[in-house]
């Protein structure tokens, strides 16, 4: 059973989609929104696992709205016309549908959703704390023209840049509009460790640990980054990692 929200500035478009979705009993439309601000509100309130999102909306676009979410649910984009260079999409956009939506395309998109969910279930850890972001959660990241859905499990490192943070994954390190402190609050500390004032490290991405100056530690990450652990945090680190 999927909880879904439809976000589109046109009432008729929302109705059309609701009508189509009524043929799929496994999808329950729990809410609607007419713009980005309403969308964020409804998402945080109703916690849907699927959203149908119109890209072109007044005020903020669909993409911009996604960057403001802590956790990006599964997204199926809707658009009337392909001018939005969905080639800007690197990976992992669940799907996009062109309006008027052809029922068969909707079936395909929902099927993809089903497969993605099954993959996640197989990889997920039991007993996920609802408030915390788990490794299987994805965030939506935008860097200029490029956008990604990134699974937290793929993120090696967060590095603070002023009030924002750089997200290191693959060969990319785009900027997200969240501070390191804000991230630390939402991330599961058993996986994401605050190594020092400027860095949060994904513990699963550590290849080597060496002692460092002043009672600290030096962490070698999978892609070669070397992160210092402050002395204070090093104590916590050793406690966490000890048997």
Partner 1 sequence: MLNKISKYWWCQIIGWSVNIGISIFFVTTFGKADHLYIKSLILTCITGLAITHGMRLCIHHFRLLDKPLRKQVLHFVLLTFIFSIIFGMASEGIDALLQYNPERAEKYTAAQRLFISSFNALWLMLMWNFIYFIYHHVEKNRNRELDTFRLEALVKSLELKTIKSHINPHFIFNALNSIRALVDENPERARTAITELSNILRSSMRAEKQETVPLQQEINIVKDYLALEHMRFEERLQIDIEIDPDTLQQPIPPMMLQTLVENAIKHGISKQIRGGTIRITSFFKNDHHELTVQNSGRLNGSLDSNTEGFGIKSTQDRLNLLYNGKAHFEIQDINGNMVESRVIMPVASIL
Query: Among residues 3, 30, 40, 56, which is the contact residue for partner 1, using CB under 8 A?
Result: 56
Cβ 36 to partner 1 shortest distance, Å:
9
Among positions 25, 58, 144, 162, the unique one binding partner 1 when judged by CB under 8 A: 58
Q: Give how far Cα 1 sits from Cα of 7, 22, 77, Å.
A: 19, 13, 20
Distance separating alpha carbons of residues 93 and 87, to the nearest angstrom: 11
Contact predicate 43/32, CB 8 Å: no
Query: What are the beta bridge partners of residue 208?
Result: 220
Distance in Å, CB of 82 to partner 1, minimum: 9
The tokens for 168 are: 């290191």
Q: Choose which of 12, 91, 115, 122 interacts with partner 1 (CB under 8 A).
A: 12
Question: Can you list the alpha helix ranges (DSSP code H) found in the chain?
Answer: 11-21, 36-46, 62-68, 103-123, 180-186, 231-241
Q: How many amino acids of this chain bind partner 1 (CB under 8 A)? A: 19
Residue closer to partner 1 (CB basis): 98 or 223 = 98
Q: Binding to partner 1 by residue 59, rule CB under 8 A?
A: yes
11 is an interface residue for partner 1 by CB under 8 A: yes
Which residue in the set 3, 71, 99, 186 belongs to the binding site for partner 1 (CB under 8 A)? 99
B/e letters for 44-58, b = 16+ CB within 10 Å, e = fewer, are: eeeebebbbbbbebe
Please report whether residue 68 would count as binding partner 1 according to CB under 8 A. no
State which of residues 3, 16, 182, 220 lies at the interface with partner 1 (CB under 8 A): 16
Determine, following the binding rule CB under 8 A, whether residue 81 of this chain makes contact with partner 1.
yes
- How far apart CA 149 and CA 169 sit, in angstroms, is 11
Compare residues 81 and 213 and give the one whose CB is closer to partner 1. Answer: 81
Only segment of 92-100, 103-111, 127-135, 168-176 that touches partner 1 (CB under 8 A)? 92-100
Q: How far apart are CA 147 and CA 29, in angstroms?
A: 26
Q: Which residues bind partner 1 (CB under 8 A)?
A: 10-13, 15-16, 19, 35, 37, 56, 58-59, 80-81, 83, 98-101
């Amino acid at each position: 059973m999927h909880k879904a929200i439809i976000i589109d500035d046109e009432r008729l478009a929302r109705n059309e989609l609701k009508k189509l979705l009524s043929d799929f009993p496994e999808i329950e439309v729990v809410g609607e929104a007419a713009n980005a601000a309403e969308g964020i509100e409804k998402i945080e309130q109703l916690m849907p696992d699927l959203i149908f999102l119109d890209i072109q909306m007044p005020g903020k676009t669909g993409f911009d709205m996604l960057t403001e979410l802590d956790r990006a649910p599964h997204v199926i984009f809707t658009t009337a016309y392909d001018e939005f260079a969905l080639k800007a999409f690197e990976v992992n956009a669940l799907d996009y549908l062109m309006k008027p939506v052809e029922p068969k395309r909707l079936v395909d998109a929902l099927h993809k959703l089903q497969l993605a969910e099954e993959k996640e279930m197989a990889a997920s850890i039991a007993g996920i704390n609802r408030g915390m972001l788990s490794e299987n959660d994805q965030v939506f990241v935008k860097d200029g023209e490029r956008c990604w859905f990134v699974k937290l499990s793929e993120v090696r490192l967060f590095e603070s840049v002023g009030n924002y943070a750089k997200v290191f994954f693959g060969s990319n390190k785009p900027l997200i509009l969240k501070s390191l402190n804000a991230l630390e609050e939402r991330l599961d500390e058993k996986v994401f460790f605050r190594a020092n004032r400027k860095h949060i490290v994904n513990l699963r991405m550590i290849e080597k640990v060496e002692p460092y100056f002043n009672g600290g530690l030096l962490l070698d990450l999978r892609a070669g980054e070397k992160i210092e652990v402050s002395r204070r945090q090093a104590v916590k680190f050793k406690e966490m990692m000890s048997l």
